[in-house]
């Protein structure tokens, strides 16, 4: 039999028993309510009778005290009690609402009449006292007539309280008997209901429902804790329990799938967050070293299974150099030509595998991994390569390939921006013709040196002798070649000893921080000889020897840093006046 049939039968019997039990409980509760109402009415009536007696006695005491003492306060309290008595009389008119009998109502009427008679005597006594007849007032209040009325009032109050008690007790006993009767029936119905449930539980539920439900509860509890490793037992039942087991199995399968999808979603979200952080930092890099550090830090977090290199193409070159790496890639060379990579040739990502169907890039020399090369481009120009290396068979998914290409696009733009920034900085700081630092760079260098005036500094001002002759005789292109020739020699001779600047026209400036007087003079002579001895040809024609004149100044021995350029220039003018092709120090110029 299906559980639904058993449940319907048990439900029908339970409904009948519950209806009977509920009805008897309602009747029992109604009887109990009547019992409480009778008790409450008894208490209210008893309190009312007692209050009448107490109030009458209180009024009498106040009236007697007044006629004896003449204190107006007692008279005031007497009239206050009179107001209260009026309130009680209004309450007596509502006795029908309290369920009193006709006999009890008559008793209350007699009590009210006695109270009124006493009230008349007392008010007459008060009037006599206020008229000056104190003895008559006292005789009225303490006389036999007043005493009899007072005694009769007390007796009537006791009688009515006894009658109320007797009647209320009868009502309470009858209501209690009905309540007990209906309560017994209700308890019997509940007992029968309980016995039926016990029978159902023992004969049906314990055998067909309880044990399977316990097993199912354990399974559901573990599933609620997201423990999807639990096994759902399938005992082949065709009833509701079997259907519930099948539903739980579906829930478990859905939970496993949802857990897998959630894990992929969390992984994907974390990857996107890391990619976003990486892109923000890539765009904020100031140089390629910072870019390499950012890429090397974030790529292992975004793709922990992929080692790799960041290759950058030097400007106006065809060789790629590894700017940074992560997770120890071993298959690719660190330096290679553009032609060695199929991805750079084709301008598209290229996958190289030892046993793959496609060709392998020439820069990959160890065939033990899957290798993905993604070109870094900006505005159609190749600026580098993003190289990724994974275990064989651990292919990147389609989504990962898209992420790789997105990162490569951003890294490529960052590399191009950095190279453009370097070119712009170079254009701002260097002379376009000679490649030397320009006048603006010279001013910045002097400003830095001015902040540290105690550091020794030597300055050389240089001028090409008879430069106008080259322009007039061979043309301005030859003059440009002469300046480039002199600039190259100056740079080669100075090397790391200082910085060479193009001051303007055919004049150059050299700053030698930390140089002594002897060092500066030796370098000046070396420069002069190197320029004079180096042959110069232009368009296959050997030009006249090139010579230079030099002025040397020093700081702080000769003056401040701010004046070192002016002093060197004056020394240069002296060297040119003295015949050119020589160097003059500021000491020689000042002594002359």
537-552: pLDDT as tens digits: 776 666 678 899 999 9
Is residue 388's pLDDT more than 90? yes
Q: Please give the Cα distance from 509 to 548 (Å, whole number).
A: 12
Q: Residue 383 in contact with residue 318, Cβ under 8 Å?
A: no
Q: ω before 556 within 30° of 0 (cis)?
A: yes
- pLDDT tens by residue, 224-274: 776 767 777 666 666 666 767 777 777 777 877 888 888 888 888 888 899
Q: Please report which confidence band the pLDDT of residue 8 belongs to, taking 50, 70 and 90 as the band edges.
A: low
52 contacts 111 by C-beta, under 8 angstroms: yes
* Contact by Cβ (8 Å): 17, 192: yes
**Phi (first) and psi of residue 351, to 5 degrees:** -105, 125
Confidence of residue 44 (pLDDT cuts 50, 70, 90): low
> What's the pLDDT tens digit per position in 156-173?
777 777 777 777 777 777
pLDDT in tens, 567-582: 999 999 999 999 999 9
Per-residue model confidence (pLDDT) at position 221: 79
Decide: 521 and 583 in contact? Cβ < 8 Å.
Answer: yes
Structure tokens at 68: 């004896």
pLDDT at 502 (0 to 100): 92
DSSP SS3 for 362: coil
Which regions of 379-454 does DSSP assign to beta strands (E)?
Answer: 381-391
263 burial type by CB count under 10 A (0-12 exposed, 13-18 middle, 19+ buried): exposed
User: How far apart are alpha carbons 28 and 175 in whole angstroms?
Assistant: 9
Distance of alpha carbon 256 from alpha carbon 227, whole angstroms: 9
Average pLDDT, the chain: 80
Q: Are 157 and 111 in contact (CB under 8 A)?
A: yes
Question: What single DSSP character describes residue 98?
Answer: G
Across 502-524, average pLDDT? 91
Chain centroid to Cα 229, Å, comes to 32
| Backbone φ, ψ for residue 336 (5° rounding) | -160, 165
Structure tokens at 64: 């007697």
What is the pLDDT, as a whole number, of residue 96?
Answer: 45
Residues 6 or more apart from 200 whose CB is under 8 A from it? 6, 10
Mind listing the domains of the chain with CATH numbers? 3-196 (1.20.120), 285-427 (3.30.450.40), 439-591 (3.30.70.270)
Report the alpha-carbon distance of residue 81 to residue 65 in Å, rounded.
14
Percent of the chain with pLDDT strictly greater than 70: 79
**Rounded Cα–Cα distance for residues 136 and 127 (Å):** 10
Rounded Cα–Cα distance for residues 6 and 205 (Å): 10
Q: If 0-12 CB within 10 Å is exposed, 13-18 middle and 19+ buried, where does residue 517 land?
A: middle
The maximal CA–CA distance of the chain, rounded, in angstroms, is 169
Among the ranges given (20-34, 151-165, 298-312, 521-535), the one the predictor scored with the smallest mean pLDDT: 20-34
- pLDDT the model gives residue 540: 63
Greater pLDDT, 500 or 588: 500
- Category of 508 on φ-ψ map: left (φ > 0), alpha (ψ -120 to 50) or beta: beta
Quote the CA–CA distance of 377 and 346 in Å, as a whole number.
12
Neighbours of 95 (CB within 10 A): 17
Mean pLDDT confidence for 212-229: 72
Q: What is the three-class DSSP state of 429?
A: helix
Q: Cβ distance 556 to 532 under 8 Å?
A: no
Q: Summarize the confidence of residues 509-533 as an average pLDDT.
A: 91
Looking at residue 210, the DSSP 8-state letter turns out to be: I
* Whole-number Å distance between alpha carbons of 138 and 129: 8
Instruction: Please tell me the predicted confidence (pLDDT) of residue 49.
Output: 64
| Dihedral pair phi/psi, residue 87, rounded to 5° | -65, -40
Distance CA 547, CA 527 (A): 10
Q: What is the pLDDT of residue 387?
A: 95
Query: What are the tens digits of pLDDT across the range 327-355?
Result: 999 999 999 999 999 999 999 999 988 77
State the Cα–Cα distance between residues 305 and 300, nearest whole angstrom. 8
Tokens of 18: 């519950």
Task: Give, in order, the Cα–Cα distances in Å from 199 to each of 203, 211, 414.
Answer: 6, 17, 81
Query: What's the number of CA atoms in the CB half-sphere (13 Å) around residue 316?
Result: 2
Give the confidence band of 11 by pLDDT, cuts at 50, 70, 90.
low
Q: Quick one: tokens of 469?
A: 């002759």
**pLDDT tens for each residue of 75-133:** 777 666 565 555 555 555 555 455 566 776 777 777 777 777 777 777 777 787 777 78
399-411 pLDDT tens trace? 788 888 899 999 9
């Amino acid at each position: 039999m299906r559980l639904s049939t058993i449940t319907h039968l048990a439900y029908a019997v339970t409904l009948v028993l519950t209806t009977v039990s509920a009805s008897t409980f309602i009747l029992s509760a109604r009887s109990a309510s009547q019992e409480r109402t009778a008790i409450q009415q008894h208490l209210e009536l008893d309190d009312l009778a007692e209050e009448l007696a107490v109030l009458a006695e209180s009024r009498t005491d106040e009236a007697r005290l007044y006629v004896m003492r003449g204190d107006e306060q007692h008279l005031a309290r007497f009239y206050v009690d009179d107001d209260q008595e009026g309130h009680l009389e209004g309450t007596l008119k509502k006795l029908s609402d309290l369920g009193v009998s006709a006999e009890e109502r008559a008793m209350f009427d007699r009590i009210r009449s006695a109270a009124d008679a006493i009230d008349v005597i007392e008010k007459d006594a008060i009037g006599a006292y206020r008229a000056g007849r104190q003895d008559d007032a006292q005789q009225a209040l303490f006389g036999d007539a007043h005493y009899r009325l007072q005694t009769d009032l007390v007796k009537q109050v006791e009688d009515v309280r006894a009658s109320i008690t007797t009647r209320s007790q009868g009502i309470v006993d009858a209501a209690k008997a009905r309540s007990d009767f209906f309560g017994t029936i209700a308890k019997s119905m509940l007992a029968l209901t309980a016995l039926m449930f016990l029978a159902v539980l023992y004969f049906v539920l314990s055998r067909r429902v309880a044990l399977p439900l316990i097993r199912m509860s354990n399974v559901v509890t573990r599933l609620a804790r997201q423990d999807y490793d639990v096994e759902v037992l399938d005992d082949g039942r065709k009833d509701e329990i079997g259907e519930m087991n099948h539903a739980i199995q579906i829930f478990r399968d859905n939970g496993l799938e949802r857990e897998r999808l959630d894990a992929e979603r969390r992984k994907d979200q974390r990857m996107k967050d890391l990619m976003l952080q990486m892109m923000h930092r890539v765009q904020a890099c100031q140089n390629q070293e910072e870019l390499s550090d950012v890429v090397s830090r974030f790529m292992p977090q975004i793709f922990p299974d992929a080692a790799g290199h960041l290759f950058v193409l030097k400007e106006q070159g065809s060789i790629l150099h590894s700017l940074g790496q992560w997770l120890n890639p071993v298959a690719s060379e660190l330096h290679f030509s553009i032609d060695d990579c199929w991805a750079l040739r084709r301008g598209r990502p290229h996958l190289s595998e030892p046993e793959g169907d496609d060709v392998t890039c020439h820069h990959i020399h160890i065939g033990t991994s899957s290798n993905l090369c993604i070109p870094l481009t900006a505005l159609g120009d190749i600026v580098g390569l993003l190289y990724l290396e994974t275990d064989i068979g651990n292919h990147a998914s389609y989504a990962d390939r898209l992420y790789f290409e997105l990162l490569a696009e951003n890294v490529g733009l960052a590399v191009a921006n950095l190279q453009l920034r370097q070119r712009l900085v170079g254009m701002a700081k260097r002379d376009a013709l000679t490649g030397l630092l320009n006048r603006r760079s010279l001013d910045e260098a002097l400003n830095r040196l001015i902040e540290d005036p105690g550091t020794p500094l030597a300055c050389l001002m240089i001028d090409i002798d008879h430069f106008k002759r080259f322009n007039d005789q061979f043309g301005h292109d030859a003059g440009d070649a002469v300046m480039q020739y002199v600039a190259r020699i100056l740079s080669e001779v100075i090397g790391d000893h200082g910085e060479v600047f193009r001051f303007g026209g055919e004049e150059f400036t050299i700053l030698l921080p930390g140089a002594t007087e002897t060092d500066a003079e030796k370098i000046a002579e070396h420069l002069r000889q190197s320029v004079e001895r180096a042959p110069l040809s232009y368009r296959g024609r050997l030009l006249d020897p090139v010579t230079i004149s030099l002025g040397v100044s020093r700081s702080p021995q000769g003056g401040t840093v701010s004046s070192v350029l002016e002093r060197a220039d004056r020394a240069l003018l002296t060297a040119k006046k003295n015949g050119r092709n020589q160097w003059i120090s500021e000491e020689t110029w000042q002594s002359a």
